[in-house]
Amino acid sequence: MNEYQKTLYLCIWLEDFSISDGILTFIDDVYCDYHNEIVLALRSIGAVKSSNIIRDAINILPADGECFLKTSTQELREKMRKLDQEFCSYTDGKLCSLYRKYVVKYFNEL
């Protein structure tokens, strides 16, 4: 998978997980090794606000890699819940529109 394909893949999977399980499942369990790439992928498609939300969510994860739900306080859980709601409200608009613009722009690279 090249970088353009990976960008779309990460963004689409993040959106998919956020709808079904929330952003925490994606960033804490499934793609915990791709934090920087997820943030950059969202920026690459033009989802800057969403990128900032995910960056903020990543920043409250435990630094030692422990499970967020096992180690977090009620205050941090509430903050994560709010970030999840904010991400799911599509602050940058519908992501499918941004995917389309990205695909049109980088069609030859995909």
Band (78; pLDDT cuts 50, 70, 90): very high
- For residue 7, the number of C-alpha atoms closer than 13 Å in the C-beta half-sphere is 21
- Please give the pLDDT value at position 65: 84
Look at residue 10 and tell me whether its pLDDT is greater than 80.
yes
Band (79; pLDDT cuts 50, 70, 90): very high
pTM of the model: 0.92
Kindly report, residue by residue over 12-61, the tens digit of the pLDDT: 999 998 888 899 988 887 778 889 999 999 999 999 999 999 999 999 99
